[in-house]
Amino acid sequence: MRGAFSPHLNQGVSAPHFLMKTEQVMSVIRECVEKRTFCELCLYYEFTRRHVLPVAAADDRFLAVQESDYRFDGFIIIDYRHVDIAVELPEKYSEIARLEGLFDGIRIPPVDISGYRSVFAYLANSGTNIEVEICSDFDRETAIFAGRAVGASEYEFRFLRFFTNCVWDKRPFNVGYDRLRAVKFGSRYLEIYSKYLPNCPAPPVRN
């Protein structure tokens, strides 16, 4: 619930006692992009924290590399408004990552994150398998689906999911951008499944 204290941030990190305004979250993310340092996020719709390395920031959302136990695991795109707390991790954290070579060879995808239509047009036309986090109709629960974007319009994208048995769904469905919580791609999970999936039966629609 917004306005509640979040206990999830690591000890030793100077965290705010109350949830942050969107403008404050944006400021932290932009600073991390500029300094190329790690950030810890708490999101209002889940009870865990995420460590990310922000690499690009637009007016409404940002692109970051996901990190766990000093291992990079793909990219995430998320709106500032879905972040309750964003705190820059201590410089030592980023220093260790650099010494371990995590910063070597990061290739930032050429995706325009200024709008979700351009995000999903890029993902559809590049044939990239993705995970999407979508809220329920009542904004109380979040469902996670793996699959591929096969088209994008001004207010929604078309999504064809696949299942853990490596079978594609029979037909795509539409998802409004207002129901979107996060987009993830390039993770180890997706890369492994992508090796064993049959060809996507729905070709991308050029946008």
109-126 pLDDT, tens digit each: 999 999 999 999 999 999
Does domain 116-196 sit in CATH 3.10.20.30? no
The answer to whether domain 22-99 and domain 116-196 are alike in fold is yes
Higher local confidence (pLDDT), 183 or 203? 183
SS3 of the chain: the string is CCCCCCCCCCCCCCCCCCCCCHHHHHHHHHHHHHHCCCEEEEECCCCCEEEEEEEEECCCEEEEEEEECCEEEEEEEEEHHHEEEEEECCHHHHHHHHHCCCCCCCCCCCCCCCCHHHHHHHHHHCCCEEEEEEECCCCCCEEEEEEEEEEECCCEEEEEEECCCCCECCCCEEEEHHHEEEEEECCHHHHHHHHHCCCCCCCCCCC
Q: What is the pLDDT of residues 30-72, one digit of tens each?
A: 999 999 999 999 987 666 788 999 999 999 999 999 998 888 9
Pick the CATH number of 22-99 from 2.30.30.180, 3.40.605.10, 3.30.70.370, 1.10.10.10: 2.30.30.180
Q: What is the pLDDT of residues 129-183, one digit of tens each?
A: 999 999 876 656 789 999 999 999 999 999 999 999 999 999 999 999 999 999 9
In this predicted structure, what is the pLDDT of residue 87?
A: 95
pTM: 0.87
pLDDT for res 9: 45
Q: Model confidence over 69-88: pLDDT tens digits?
A: 888 999 999 999 999 999 99
Q: Tell the residue number behind the tokens 């300094």, with chain if given.
A: 35
SS3 labels along 61-91 = EEEEEEEECCEEEEEEEEEHHHEEEEEECCH
> Hey, where are the domains in the chain?
22-99, 116-196
